[in-house]
């Protein structure tokens, strides 16, 4: 038996949604944290409680929620993605360069979209969680992320 404990359900009306577009200019392969920008959007929109969805409009860059403390973690995650989808694997699709097809595989293995609960105006992330855009291409790219909040607003 797994021991579980569940808090009483809290009910609220759903009143509005708020949207924005976020542009991120990456400096090439790596992790780029966007947590603060998402929090700023929630504050600007007057979001109180509900859900926040982030969506990455690309197939060679993606999203993930990962540890925001030790940078070695992100270095190891890059190593893991390189191992799981090696650059020199012999992919058929290589018209856009040797880093393109591995970027598609790494996008498939991570997230294009994430939905995060929001409570009292704050993202419901855990203490060690940050929201990251992962740039899978070697060179810098301009990436577009759409954000949408659905729920209740601040009074």
88 lies in the binding site for a copy of itself (CB under 8 A)? no
Measured between alpha carbons, how far is 71 from 26 in angstroms, rounded to an integer? 17
Kindly list the distances between the CA atom of residue 120 and the CA atoms of 33, 35, 50, 154, in Å, as whole numbers in the listed order.
Answer: 22, 16, 9, 8
Measured between alpha carbons, how far is 62 from 139 in angstroms, rounded to an integer? 15
Measured between alpha carbons, how far is 29 from 11 in angstroms, rounded to an integer? 43
55 lies in the binding site for a copy of itself (CB under 8 A)? yes
Residue 7 CB, shortest distance to a copy of itself, in Å, is: 5
91 lies in the binding site for a copy of itself (CB under 8 A)? yes
Closest CB to a copy of itself among residues 33, 99 = 33
Closest CB to a copy of itself among residues 99, 105 = 105
Q: Pattern 94-123, binding to a copy of itself, x per CB under 8 A?
A: -x-----x--xx-xxxxxxxxxxx-x----
11 lies in the binding site for a copy of itself (CB under 8 A)? yes
Residue 121 CB, shortest distance to a copy of itself, in Å, is: 13
Measured between alpha carbons, how far is 125 from 117 in angstroms, rounded to an integer? 8
Measured between alpha carbons, how far is 117 from 107 in angstroms, rounded to an integer? 23
Closest CB to a copy of itself among residues 88, 127 = 127
Residue 88 CB, shortest distance to a copy of itself, in Å, is: 13
Which tokens belong to 82? 């390189």
Which tokens belong to 151? 């729920």
25 lies in the binding site for a copy of itself (CB under 8 A)? yes
Which tokens belong to 39? 């929090």
4 lies in the binding site for a copy of itself (CB under 8 A)? yes
């Amino acid at each position: 038996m797994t021991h579980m404990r569940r808090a009483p359900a809290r009910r609220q009306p759903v009143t509005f949604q708020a949207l924005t577009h976020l542009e991120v200019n990456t400096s090439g392969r790596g992790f780029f944290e966007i947590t603060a920008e998402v929090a700023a959007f929630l504050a600007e929109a007057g979001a109180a409680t509900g859900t926040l969805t982030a969506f990455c409009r690309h197939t060679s860059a993606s999203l993930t929620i990962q540890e925001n403390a030790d940078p070695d973690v992100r270095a190891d995650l890059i190593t893991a993605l390189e191992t799981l989808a090696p650059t020199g694997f012999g992919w058929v699709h290589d018209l856009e360069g040797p880093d393109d097809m591995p970027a598609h595989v790494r996008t498939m293995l991570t997230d294009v979209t994430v939905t995060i609960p929001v409570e009292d105006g704050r993202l419901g992330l855990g203490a060690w969680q940050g929201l990251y855009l992962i740039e899978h291409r070697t060179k810098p790219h301009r990436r577009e992320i759409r954000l949408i909040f659905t729920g209740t607003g601040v009074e």
